[in-house]
Amino acid sequence: MKNRQIVPTGREIELDATQQIVTKTDLSGRITYANRAFMQISDYAEPDLLGVQHNIVRHPEMPRGVYHLMWETLQGGREFFGFVKNLTANGDHYWVFANVTPDREPGGKVVGFFSVRRRPAAAGVKAMQALYAEMLAAERKAGPARAIEASRALLAARLAGTDYERHVLALQLG
């Protein structure tokens, strides 16, 4: 299923405090498993998700630099933590605190990725919304060829010596 053009409504859906969204993807990011919580909040049925790129829920207000960082982290064999704004099938959005980990076969070969998302800390969302808006502005100003580089440079400057993981964990855990 090709991601159709979805127009964001501006309406936010909040996750329940106990709710966990779980998906599994193959190495290229195609969904191989989605729990009911993911299907419910994203407003997609299972047949519309399986085999489809996970970016089907990517919100246009998420900077490319964050996804670049995520893939760089995962390809390095490490887990990724981050605040992510996702888009539902009907244009609503929801924020999550995501933990994405490599899925390994016995012997260590990475065969895909697990993602567990939970309700994010409100203060973290507020902080990341502002940072992500700056990153998006840097991406637009730099143009497509240099967008990721500009976004990552701005992120590094704003984090002033700490790394993204430490920053987002501090925001989430308080």
The per-residue pLDDT for range 132-157, each reduced to its tens digit, is: 999 999 999 999 999 999 999 999 99
Whether 58 has a pLDDT exceeding 50, the answer reads yes
Q: What is the pLDDT of residues 107-127, one digit of tens each?
A: 999 999 999 999 999 999 999
Structure tokens given for 37: 């919580």
Task: Find all residues with CB under 8 Å of 152, minimum gap 6, and list them.
Answer: 65, 68, 69
Contact call for residues 119 and 17 (beta carbons, < 8 A): yes
Distance CA 24, CA 45 (A): 16
SS3 111: strand
Question: Residue ranges per domain, the chain?
Answer: 20-173
DSSP symbols for 42-104: HT--HHHHTTSBGGGGB-TTS-HHHHHHHHHHHHTT--EEEEEEEE-TTS-EEEEEEEEEEEE
Q: What is the pLDDT of residue 1?
A: 43
* CATH superfamily assigned to domain 20-173: PAS domain (3.30.450.20)
Residues of the chain with pLDDT > 90, as a percent, come to 96
How much is the pTM?
A: 0.94
Query: 62: Cβ–Cβ under 8 A, 6 or more apart, which residues?
Result: 84, 85, 132
Element (H, E) at 135: helix 122-142
- Burial class from Cβ neighbours inside 10 Å (0-12, 13-18, 19+) for residue 38 reads buried
Question: What is the residue-averaged pLDDT of the chain?
Answer: 95
